[in-house]
């Protein structure tokens, strides 16, 4: 089948074809009921239940396709969008618009130097060799340090950036750090941060495809569901005000009267990361039968 002929009339949605963002992106698509089967080696997949085609691209290339208006929607790192924007000629506005922070793929683009070396400040790298996959952001960073000049020599490599110092190609690097393990293993330390990043849903400034809103709303629902749990408990009505402060919910807690005089049941969305503390506090104010339920999906205000 010649897939390219089947793209007509479909929203084009770019997703990372490999790397750190891929699995969470696929989970998000599946949670949003975007059904597709990707043939081996093929970078285009038609969605079965919606007029959408998924285009599998390297995360670094996604902002270019969206910026040019070739692709309507995409998921990539905010760092990649920033790098794309930093490459634009002065005065040109970006064709890439962020619509949603997706929360995963959290990392920092950091200036790194040999741990045991003499350098401790990014200013000491001025005029030296710096290797990175993010040349435009690195250039902008050093240009600012140098007050508008640029004497620092910035070279591009596509991956394994950390090896550059050990191999003598660089005095310092600018690369992504999450756990810090890669940096540590390479004998490097971070001395500054260029940008912080998470995965984002982006759209082309010029797209007028009405499905953008539908997809955004579905993805937002899945993210909210992943981030929150539903906490239910019973509480004496006299303690309701205090308990409601502990579980204010996304908008407001849902309160139901119980058969038992003077008691109410409360149901409220709570951030997953806070749930243990919330349960401790609820117990302290007299809540009983506290239940925590996972949320499969959501649409909230």
Ligand X SMILES: Nc1ncnc2c1ncn2[C@@H]1O[C@H](COP(=O)(O)OP(=O)(O)OP(=O)(O)O)[C@@H](O)[C@H]1O
Which residues contact ligand X (rule: CB under 6 A)? 18-21, 58-60, 77, 79-80, 105-107, 159, 176, 178, 197
CA distance 301 to 293: 20
| Residue 58 or 114 with smaller CB distance to ligand X | 58
DSSP string, 161-215: TTHHHHTTS-SEEEEEESSSHHHHHTTEEEEEEEEEE-EEEEEETT---THHHHH
Q: Taking CB under 6 A as the rule, which mask of x and - marks residues 142-181 in contact with ligand PRP? A: -----------------xxxx------------xxxxxxx
Q: Taking CB under 6 A as the rule, which mask of x and - marks residues 18-37 in contact with ligand PRP? A: -xx-----------------
Do residues 112 and 174 touch, judged by C-beta distance below 8 A?
Answer: yes
Task: Pick what 18 binds: ligand PRP, ligand X, none; C-beta below 5 to 8 Å, kind-dependent.
Answer: ligand X
The least CB distance from residue 86 to ligand X, in Å, is: 14
The least CB distance from residue 51 to ligand X, in Å, is: 28
| Residue 10 or 84 with smaller CB distance to ligand X | 84
Q: How far is CA 115 from CA 121, 135, 143, 171, 251, in A?
A: 12, 23, 24, 12, 48
Residues 6+ apart with CB under 8 A from 80: 59, 60, 62, 63
Site size for ligand PRP (CB under 6 A): 15
The least CB distance from residue 131 to ligand X, in Å, is: 15
| Residue 57 or 231 with smaller CB distance to ligand X | 57
CA distance 61 to 223: 24
User: For the chain, what's the residue count?
Assistant: 301
The least CB distance from residue 198 to ligand X, in Å, is: 7
The least CB distance from residue 224 to ligand X, in Å, is: 21
CA distance 72 to 13: 6
Do residues 183 and 190 touch, judged by C-beta distance below 8 A?
Answer: yes
Task: Pick what 180 binds: ligand PRP, ligand X, none; C-beta below 5 to 8 Å, kind-dependent.
Answer: ligand PRP
> Interface residues for ligand PRP in 179-208 (CB under 6 A)?
179-183
The least CB distance from residue 3 to ligand PRP, in Å, is: 28
Phi-psi region of 211 (alpha: psi -120 to 50; beta: other; left: phi over 0): alpha
The single-letter DSSP state of residue 3 is G
> Interface residues for ligand PRP in 126-145 (CB under 6 A)?
none
- What is the contact surface with ligand PRP in residues (CB under 6 A)? 19-20, 159-162, 175-183
């Amino acid at each position: 089948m010649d897939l390219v002929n089947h793209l007509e009339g479909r929203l084009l949605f770019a997703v990372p074809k490999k790397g750190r963002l891929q699995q969470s992106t696929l989970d998000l698509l599946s949670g949003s009921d975007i059904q597709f089967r990707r043939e081996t080696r093929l970078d285009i997949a038609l969605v079965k239940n919606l007029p959408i085609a998924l285009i599998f691209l390297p995360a670094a290339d996604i902002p270019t396709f969206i910026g040019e208006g070739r692709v309507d929607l995409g998921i990539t790192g905010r760092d990649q969008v920033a790098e794309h924007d930093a490459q634009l000629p002065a005065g040109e506005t970006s064709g890439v618009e962020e619509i949603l922070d997706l929360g995963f793929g959290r990392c920092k683009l950091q200036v790194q130097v040999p741990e045991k070396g003499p350098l401790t400040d990014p200013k000491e790298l001025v005029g030296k060799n710096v290797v990175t996959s993010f040349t435009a952001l690195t250039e902008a960073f050093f240009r600012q340090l140098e007050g508008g000049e640029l004497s620092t020599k910035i070279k591009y490599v596509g991956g394994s950036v950390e090896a550059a110092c050990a191999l003598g190609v660089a005095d310092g690097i600018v690369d992504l750090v999450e756990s810090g393990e890669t940096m540590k293993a390479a004998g490097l330390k971070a001395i500054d941060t260029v940008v912080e990043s998470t995965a984002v849903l982006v759209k082309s400034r010029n797209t007028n495809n009405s499905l953008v809103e539908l997809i955004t709303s579905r993805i937002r629902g899945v993210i909210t569901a992943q981030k929150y749990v539903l906490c239910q408990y019973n509480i004496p009505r006299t303690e309701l005000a205090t308990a409601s402060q502990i579980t204010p919910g996304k908008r407001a807690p849902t309160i139901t009267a119980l058969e038992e005089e003077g008691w109410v049941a409360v149901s409220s969305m709570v951030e997953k990361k806070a749930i243990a503390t919330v349960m401790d506090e609820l117990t302290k104010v007299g809540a009983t039968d506290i239940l925590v339920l996972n949320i499969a999906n959501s649409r909230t205000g």
